[in-house]
Amino acid sequence: MGKEVAPVRINFAGRYYMGLHSCGTQCRYFTLSDLSTGQDSNAFDMFSAADGKRATTRDGRSYVTELVVHPNSTMVIARYHIDSSAARPSECRERVFVLADDGMQVNPITATVEGCEQPLDTEISALPISSEFESKRGGPSVSSR
């Protein structure tokens, strides 16, 4: 029997459905489907856990990525909720991206900044499931992609 999911509907950029999926404890991945063509895009792979492994910053701390999108905007706000370590407190970092016209990639339009804004009034905000993050594909320690 398959997993139960919410009904598929436009929740991003006027024609896309962004899905948040769990791949186990402290593991999540995002999908992006163009509902006008039925095609799937790998544009959000950079925010997903690699091979079901925990995402970590360059200094080894785990983090979870939260994506904030809106049905009528191509902008994606990535929030990286980073766990504390013996030497550093927990923190949140944020970076803004925009979906390319072809829908195949997202490009950063800001640098990663420390601190995250309060939750936005959005159609979908993928809230953290646990404390893990990724740095190799656009996470908090990466300057650009």
Domain definitions of the chain by residue range: 16-125
Give backbone dihedrals phi and psi of 83, rounded to 5 degrees, phi first. Answer: -70, 160
- Tell me the whole-structure pTM to 2 decimals: 0.77
pLDDT at 36: 96
Query: Hey, is 94 helix, strand or coil?
Result: strand
Distances (CA, A) of 61 to 8, 38, 93, 139: 34, 37, 13, 12
Q: For 22-58, how does the pLDDT look when each residue is reduced to its tens digit (9 = 90+)? A: 887 777 899 999 999 999 999 999 999 877 777 888 9
pLDDT at 119: 57
Span 115-130, mean pLDDT?
52
